[in-house]
Amino acid sequence: MSYSHILFEVDAGGIALITVNRPEKLNALSGAVIADLHQAFERIAGERDIRAAILTGAGEKAFVAGADIQELAALSSLEAREFARCGQQVFRMLETSHKPSVAAVNGFALGGGLELAMACTVRFAAENARLGQPEVKLGIIPGYGGTQRLPRLVGRGRALEMLLAGDPVTAAEAWRIGLVNAVVPQAELLNYSRAWLGKALANAPAALGLVMEAVDVGLNAGIEEGLRFEATAFAVSAATDDGREGTRAFLEKRKPAFAGK
């Protein structure tokens, strides 16, 4: 499968590395990039050998510095709505995947870039990273989920502080408020991301997917619906071969051998 603006490679451990590859534009999200990401996320979902994903940006300056403003400025109101809905749907594909994903934020993550990072399972930032939603400075608002995901991650007050002022925060501040999960030297960012995924992928695949789905259901539907889903998902996990293997291995004081069944 070929892509015009992203790089896609899969390592021996089944981790896909997706690199937004427009360094001359600070990896800005154009319609073509969104289309590439759509194909990439479909591939991740459909290929059993791909177990997880890391998203990052080409170069050392930017993860994704936002939407392509030149492209955005030419849109009519109806076209802009479709542009936003398309991006939202693609990011939601990533967010609801049963396979964990990491945003390796290697520089500026602004506007649509931060929205893409927030759709990942976790976010690790390089020390030089800057994260923000500056849309109001352009007279517009976030369109790829920023007004919805940011409050869920950092709380209403912190989110509105960032959204209304439009100023980016440092990686250290992003970690302090819970926007990123860790801050590491840029040279170590991808290895750190792979190491964390290695820990997650040592566990049963079905359990990983059900945990992520249960969290998503609870956050969106409320605690009562979330608890109902959790009980059902618990029953499903307990009946899998991996669920039986995990409990048996614990009782036998050995490491489980999960088979993904």
Q: Which of 24, 115, 127, 213 is catalytic?
A: 115
User: In sequence order, what are the residues at sequence separation of 6 or more whose Cβ sits closer than 8 angstroms to the Cβ of residue 91?
Assistant: 115, 116, 119, 144, 145
Residue of 47, 54, 50, 51 lying closest to 6 (CA atoms): 54
Q: Is 135 a catalytic residue?
A: yes
Is the CA virtual torsion 207, 95, 158, 197 positive or negative?
A: positive
76 phi, psi to nearest 5 deg: -75, 175
Q: Say whether 115 is catalytic.
A: yes
**Cβ-based neighbours of 61, under 8 Å, separated by 6 or more:** 23, 26, 107, 108
Q: Return d(Cα 190, Cα 102) in angstroms, integer.
A: 10
Active-site choice (60, 127, 135, 252):
135
Write out the catalytic residue numbers: 115, 135
